[in-house]
Amino acid sequence: MVTILHGQISLFTRAAHKIKKCVGRSVNQIGLVCPYTTGASLQLEGCYLRYEHSGDFLGKLDTSVRYKKCSKSVDNDVEFFRRRDDVLADLQTANGFRVSSSGLVQGFAQCLGDLTVSDCSSCLADGIGKLKSMCGSAAAADVFLGQCYARYWASGYYDETPGSHDNDEVGRSVAIIVGVFTGLAVLVVLLSICKKAMG
Give pLDDT tens digits for 29-66: 888 888 888 878 777 777 777 777 766 667 778 888 98
| CB burial readout 56-65, b (16+ within 10 A) else e | ebbeebebee
Give the Å distances, CA to CA, from 194 to 83, 133, 199: 45, 39, 9
What distance in Å separates the CA atoms of residue 28 and residue 21, rounded to the nearest whole number? 11
Nearest to 97 by CA among 107, 106, 105: 107
Nearest to 114 by CA among 19, 191, 26, 24: 191
**pLDDT for residue 164:** 39
Q: Which domains does the chain carry?
A: 1-55+170-199 (no CATH), 61-158 (3.30.430.20)
| Confidence grade of residue 14 (pLDDT, cut at 50, 70, 90) | low
Give the Å distances, CA to CA, from 193 to 48, 180, 190, 196: 19, 20, 5, 5
**pLDDT for residue 171:** 55
**pLDDT for residue 7:** 25
**pLDDT for residue 143:** 92
DSSP letters spanning 113-167? TTS-HHHHHHHHHHHHHHHHHHHTTBSEEEEEESSEEEEEEETTTTPPPTT---T
pLDDT mean across residues, the chain:
77
Give the chain's length: 199
Mean pLDDT of 121-137: 93
pLDDT by residue (tens digit) across 74-109? 888 899 999 999 999 999 988 888 899 999 999 989
- For CA atoms 47, 53, 56, 61, the dihedral sign is negative
| Confidence grade of residue 178 (pLDDT, cut at 50, 70, 90) | low
Mean pLDDT of 142-161: 79
pLDDT by residue (tens digit) across 24-39? 888 888 888 888 888 7
